Structure 1
Amino acid sequence: MRSSPRSPSSRGAVGPVDMEDPFSATELGHLGMGSWQMPVMLRQPGAVDAPSVAVQRVSEEADLYGAERAVIESFGLDRFEPRKPGELFPVSLLDEPGVAIFVARVDGTVAGACVTVTANGFASHYWVGTTEAARSRGIGRAVMLGSLAPLSQVPVTLTASKLGLPLYEKLGFAEAASATWWSSSRA
């Protein structure tokens, strides 16, 4: 975060500032930021059902950009518009140890995506999203199941949105804690 030496503020940042405080121990309102709570969820190792829609791990640049487009749309990340491929998901992610990106398609177009990170016997899910046109069609569930399959032997965490919470609970995730999120755009 950028700030002036005299008065720290997220307003001095070049763009929006978003931060997660996983321990809910920090107060950032004095920096002009707003906050909200999100549950941190944990899924213990265990069997995973097969997805109803084909899910594939991304290995090609074109699929990476399809995943990026789906995430930007599903999260309403207007600050990435006009979109510059690789700005949110750089091509180097494909070679990053422990990082995997998964996609599901509808009519040949990426309609859902997520990123998993595995390290030290644990895994985490990030950027789980479905495009607006594909919502309520089982794509989010398929992406989760397809990405959980290779992680069935390790504990998996994620931070759940209100919309995703019911799905994650059905997939065996349970709330472990609550994290505070701070954003300069919610001030």
Structure 2
Amino acid sequence: MDGRSGLELANDNAATHWLAMAGVLGWESRTADGYTAVRCEGDPGDSHRVVITRRPADAAALTRELLSLFRDWETGSLSLEDPYGVLDLSGHGCESALAMPVMVRPPDGPVGGPVGGPAGRPPDGPPRAPADGPSRGPARGLVDGSAENLVGGPSAAPPVAPVRSPAVSVEQALVEEDLALLERVVVQGFPMPGRMPLRRGRLFPAALDALDGRRAWLARRGGEAAGACVSWDDGTAVGLYWVAVLEPHRSHGVARALLEAALRAHPQRAATLTATLLGEPLYRKLGFVEQAVSTWWRYPATVTRS
């Protein structure tokens, strides 16, 4: 790894991943000191995406800059990742919907090997936040206090040999039939109600398949599509995204087989991912170590009705 911290490697991988997608899909983007923003607008289910890539010297100034950007972009739906836990958008109609560990595995790291800061505390981020996140103020608009005023790398690599076990096989999704299966598994495996009814290309437009550095992985169990994920090699680290396993195939080694296939395909790369609670124990067994707990802000906030 280079001089960046593990958390910075993960942040930069996520940012370059979104920028690469923006480039092929024609989305507007902005890269500034400490953050990357992408104006995702290919489908009604898309949210504008922001990744905070470095700890801000002035969180209030960054908040003002982002609110100005959201005004310019007429942001009606937002997903913002803050791995430093320093922003508070609760007074602008947002909610801290998720808090998930950012994890990194060193190149050729031993499975389950200890790396990183002291036990119980991420080396680059704050301690774990309470389960319900920061306190939430009254919902207001992102820009002017009124929600009603807001309107909606690297060189190409050859295919990798498939990974097979008696029960589970994993291979790159390269043909249209497999790419369609991969998209179905991700949408149904998370699940993503906003992407229903399922339509090919709604989550993964065909233009993404030609991106250098991007690989799509499909797992089958008993001959049936069972799991999927996408890897993104930015030239320094490989990020793992959209790791999903369909419910009937969970607890049968599908996720492990997917991740091992992707890791074997990039033996000289650090690997990064953002973990769900269900996936975190497996990731630790594979040598991933928590770097920080990222707060995910969502706009608009969920409306609570009594």
1:150 pairs, out of 262, 265, 270, with 265
Counterparts in 2 of 1:162 and 1:97: CA distance versus 1, 3 Å: same
Q: Is 1:56 matched with 2:117?
A: no
Tell me what 1:40 maps to: 102
Q: Is 1:129 matched with 2:244?
A: yes
The Cα offsets for residues 163-182 of structure 1, whole Å up to 9 and x where unpaired, read as 00000000000001121111
> C-alpha distance in 1, partners of 2:84/2:212?
27
> C-alpha distance in 1, partners of 2:265/2:110?
9
Match of 2:85, SS state, is: coil
> C-alpha distance in 2, partners of 1:115/1:80?
18
- TM-score, with normalisation over the residues of structure 1? 0.86
Q: Is the 8 A contact 2:93 2:300 kept in 1?
A: no
Once the 2 structures are TM-superposed, how far is the Cα of residue 151 of structure 1 from its aligned partner? 1.4
Q: Is 1:117 matched with 2:238?
A: no
Tell me what 1:23 maps to: 84
> C-alpha distance in 2, partners of 1:95/1:168?
28
- Aligned-pair identity (%): 37
Once the 2 structures are TM-superposed, how far is the Cα of residue 63 of structure 1 from its aligned partner? 0.9
Once the 2 structures are TM-superposed, how far is the Cα of residue 38 of structure 1 from its aligned partner? 0.8
The residue type paired with residue 132 of structure 1 is E
The residue type paired with residue 18 of structure 1 is S
Tell me what 1:88 maps to: 203
Counterparts in 2 of 1:147 and 1:69: CA distance versus 1, 3 Å: same
Tell me what 2:30 maps to: none
Match of 1:100, SS state, is: strand
Q: Is the 8 A contact 1:34 1:182 kept in 2?
A: yes
- Unpaired runs of 5+ residues, structure 2, are 1-47, 49-67, 112-162
**How big is the alpha-carbon RMSD for the aligned residues of Structure 1 and Structure 2?**
2.4
The Cα offsets for residues 14-65 of structure 1, whole Å up to 9 and x where unpaired, read as xx53221233232221222221311100001116887632210111122111
Aligned length: 179
> C-alpha distance in 2, partners of 1:184/1:84?
25
- TM-score, with normalisation over the residues of structure 2? 0.54
Once the 2 structures are TM-superposed, how far is the Cα of residue 185 of structure 1 from its aligned partner? 6.3
Once the 2 structures are TM-superposed, how far is the Cα of residue 107 of structure 1 from its aligned partner? 3.2
Structure with a larger share of its residues in strand:
1
Match of 2:277, SS state, is: coil
Once the 2 structures are TM-superposed, how far is the Cα of residue 87 of structure 1 from its aligned partner? 0.8
